[in-house]
């Protein structure tokens, strides 16, 4: 199975260690900005007295990767949705497609690329956890197998029902994500989108795109048939006109 993160906002103190570690692990320039940008892939925002992390959710079936015309964004089998800047043509379709508004663009660059959390795919390949989870001083961000994290999240909900909203964000959102979140207040109060479709978004386009080959084939045969009949009719008419029996 794939890996993921479990973020528990009730344990986050807003120290910013995750942001600092992210900057360092991914070689991103300082400063750490207030909100996520192409250069700051994760931040902790304080909303209604609650600290909440902003980062890519790493959807199981990511829309960004689905719409990317050059496969610059890809979902890996380990869990991260990674980005290959060398393939990117800067169309920014991923930015429009992401239901969480995660990918950001380097608007200040002459040749911009997209920036977003890649779940420290490079560190994962070396057997290391994500940088944010490695440095979190309260255990608010945990790294591990997604299934194990989900069990832990549900255990917390069952153990402390008064502490948490009875929902693990990321289980069903956009068809499921590698990043899971727990909260003590309703997620919409944290500025999180709660109207995200429960089915994988690429499914919407797939329902149409999957029918196109059959549609094109059937329509092609049908139109060719009409063309053949019309042409044949014209040929018969022309033949009959040139072979009229005299006197008729």
Partner 1 sequence: MKASIQLWRIVGGAGLGAALAVGMAVANDGTPALRLPPDVTYGSAANSPGPVIFSHTNHVPLRDNRCVACHPQTFSILQPTGTITHEEMNAGKQCGTCHDGTQASGVQDACDHCHHMGGGS
Give the number of other Cβ atoms within 10 Å of residue 75's Cβ. Answer: 19
Element (H, E) at 152: helix 146-159
Closest CB to partner 1 among 155 and 233?
155
| CA–CA distance, 153 with 156 (Å, rounded to integer) | 5
ω into 126 cis (within 30 of 0): no
Binding residue for partner 1 (CB under 8 A) from 37, 50, 74, 78? 78
Compute the least distance from the CB of residue 67 to partner 1, in Å.
27
- Secondary structure E strands in 132-209: 141-145, 179-182
The minimum distance between CB 125 and partner 1, in angstroms, equals 5
Q: Which stretch binds partner 1 (CB under 8 A): 5-13, 173-181, 209-217, 232-240?
A: 5-13
Q: For the chain, give me the number of helices (H) and strands (E)?
A: 8, 9
- Of 25-33, 86-94, 164-172, 240-248, the segment contacting partner 1 by CB under 8 A is 25-33
Cα separations in angstroms, 213 against 63, 163, 207: 22, 52, 12
Query: By CB under 8 A, is residue 25 in contact with partner 1?
Result: yes
Q: Is 3 in the site for partner 1 (CB under 8 A)?
A: yes
Stretch that binds partner 1, among 24-32, 61-69, 189-197, 232-240 (CB under 8 A): 24-32
Locate 192 and state its tokens.
Answer: 């999180």
145 binds partner 1 (CB under 8 A): yes
Which residues are near partner 1 by CB under 8 A? 3, 8, 10-17, 19-21, 23-25, 30-32, 78, 124-129, 131, 133-140, 142-145, 148-149, 152
């Amino acid at each position: 199975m794939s890996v993921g993160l479990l973020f528990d906002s009730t344990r986050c103190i807003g120290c910013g260690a995750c942001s600092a570690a992210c900057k360092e692990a991914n070689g991103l320039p300082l400063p750490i900005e207030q909100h996520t940008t192409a250069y700051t892939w994760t931040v902790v925002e304080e909303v209604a007295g609650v600290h909440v992390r902003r980062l890519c959710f790493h959807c199981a079936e990511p829309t960004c990767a689905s719409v990317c015309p050059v496969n610059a964004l890809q979902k890996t089998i380990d869990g991260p949705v990674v980005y290959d800047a060398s393939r990117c043509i800067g169309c920014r379709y991923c930015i429009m497609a992401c239901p969480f508004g995660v990918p950001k663009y380097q608007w200040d660059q002459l040749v911009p690329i997209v920036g977003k959390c890649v779940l420290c795919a490079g560190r994962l390949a070396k057997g290391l956890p994500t940088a944010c989870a490695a440095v979190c001083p309260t255990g608010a961000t945990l790294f591990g197998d997604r299934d194990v994290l989900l069990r832990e999240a549900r255990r917390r909900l069952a153990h402390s029902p008064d502490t948490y909203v009875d929902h693990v964000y990321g289980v069903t959102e956009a068809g499921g994500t590698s990043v899971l979140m727990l909260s003590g207040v309703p997620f919409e109060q944290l500025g999180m989108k709660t109207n995200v479709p429960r089915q994988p978004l690429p499914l919407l386009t797939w329902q149409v795109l999957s029918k196109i080959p059959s549609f094109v084939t059937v329509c092609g045969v049908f139109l060719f048939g009409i063309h053949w009949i019309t042409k044949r009719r014209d040929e018969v008419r022309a033949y009959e006109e040139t072979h009229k029996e005299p006197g008729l």
